[in-house]
Amino acid sequence: MIALKLALISLIIMALAPLSVLPADAEQRMRCLTRDQQRAAITERRAVPLAAVRRSVRGRVPGELVRARLCQEADRLIYLLTVLPRDGKVRRVIVDAKNGAVVSVR
């Protein structure tokens, strides 16, 4: 019985391991900003404030904002938002930081 449990746990870990690592090219393409860099980007008008982004996203993806990051992706800044709607299904929202437009919802 213990051997069966260990085998099952091993299979689960092996199945989930690839999900925890971003491909090397994805890591190189996206780098999230520090708090100081975020402030500078907003001050320099390269990004809209998070409050404005949240207002624009709320109509499309209502729910509690769980996490927000401002990241550099290739040649643009994006907000990566994690939203928890009432149905409990976590949504990942990507927003163009320059204009606050929703790019994708997953």
Summarize the confidence of residues 88-98 as an average pLDDT. Answer: 97
Quick one: tokens of 78?
A: 């994006």
In a domain, 54, yes or no: yes
Lowest mean pLDDT among 25-29, 62-66, 70-74: 25-29
In a domain, 35, yes or no: yes
| Domain CATH number, residue 85 | 3.10.450
**Is the predicted pLDDT of residue 52 greater than 80, yes or no?**
yes
Summarize the confidence of residues 96-103 as an average pLDDT. Answer: 97
Whether 92 contacts 81, CB under 8 Å: yes
pLDDT band at 83 (very low <50, low <70, confident <90, very high): very high
Number of domains in the chain: 1
In a domain, 13, yes or no: no
In a domain, 39, yes or no: yes
* Residue 30 domain boundaries: 24-105
In a domain, 16, yes or no: no
Predicted TM-score (pTM) of the model is: 0.72
In a domain, 19, yes or no: no
Whether 78 contacts 95, CB under 8 Å: yes
pLDDT in tens, 70-82: 999 999 999 999 9
Residue 96 gets which letter from DSSP? E
* DSSP strand pairing (30-32 vs 64-73): antiparallel
Distance CA 41, CA 70 (A): 9
pLDDT value for 9: 54
Largest CA distance in the chain: 62
